Amino acid sequence: LAFTRVIDDPGEGQVLLRQTACGLNFLDTYQRSGAYPMALPAVAGNEAAGVVEQVGPGVTSLAVGDRVAYAGGDPGSYASHRIFPADRVVKVPDNISDEVAAASMLKGMTTEYLLMRCAPLKSGHYALMYAAAGGVGLFAGQWAKAMGVRMIGVAGGAEKCALAKANGYHEVIDRNSENIAERVREITGGRGVSVVFDSIGKATFETTLACLSP
């Protein structure tokens, strides 16, 4: 369901966007189900790509016609148009489609934070990533390979393991049929990994500790 075009003009530091594609994330489902309450009425959606249709006063970094994308801020990506802070959008390169840009922002920024700022990973390090065939996981495999990090993935089932392996993982462990901690020790020559990115938590906590180097 697309909402109709807004009438307001963008204010100071804002742009009016015509949104052409939106990303879908678990966050959206939490908000839509009421698990994360939102003040109603509200437009859902947390990332999108589109075109700048109008710039507000003080905006110098963007121009009408620029292709842009964003993630975060107030929900509203499920609308055809919206007003949004100019400093929260980035320009989309010509070789990236609107659909790819809209689907990549939240997961890509999450991956950047984990691999570049959350832990000091360097070339040659071993690391472990749960949910390796998920959205963030597929980004992380490619990103880690480009950094020279030997990222070990954990996924469920042969199909997901193959997908993760095709996206840059050094090795992939099938959690349905393999002992994760034992396989990590085998792969790393008994040393364990420098970092574990554990997106599950309670059920995997002891296994995660067993995978880490002292």
Q: Reply yes or no on whether the pLDDT at 6 is more than 60.
A: no
3-state secondary structure the chain: CCCCCCCCCCCCCEEEEEEEEECCCHHHHHHHHCCCCCCCCCCCCCEEEEEEEEECCCCCCCCCCCEEEEECCCCCCCCCEEEEEHHHCEECCCCCCHHHHHHHHHHHHHHHHHHHHHCCCCCCCEEEECCCCCHHHHHHHHHHHHHCCEEEEEECCHHHHHHHHCCCCCEEEECCCCCHHHHHHHHCCCCCECEEECCCCHHHHHHHHHHECC
Which pLDDT value is given to residue 4?
54
Question: What confidence tens digit (pLDDT) does each residue in 68-90 have?
Answer: 999 999 999 999 999 999 999 99
Q: What are the Cα distances from residue 64, in Å, to 13, 43, 91?
A: 14, 24, 12
Question: What confidence tens digit (pLDDT) does each residue in 150-196 have?
Answer: 999 999 999 999 999 999 999 999 999 999 999 999 999 999 999 99
Q: φ, ψ for residue 184 (rounded to 5)?
A: -60, -45
Mean pLDDT within 129-143: 97
> How far apart are alpha carbons 92 and 199 in whole angstroms?
29
Q: Reply yes or no on whether the pLDDT at 131 is more than 60.
A: yes
Q: Grade residue 8 by pLDDT with cuts at 50, 70 and 90.
A: confident
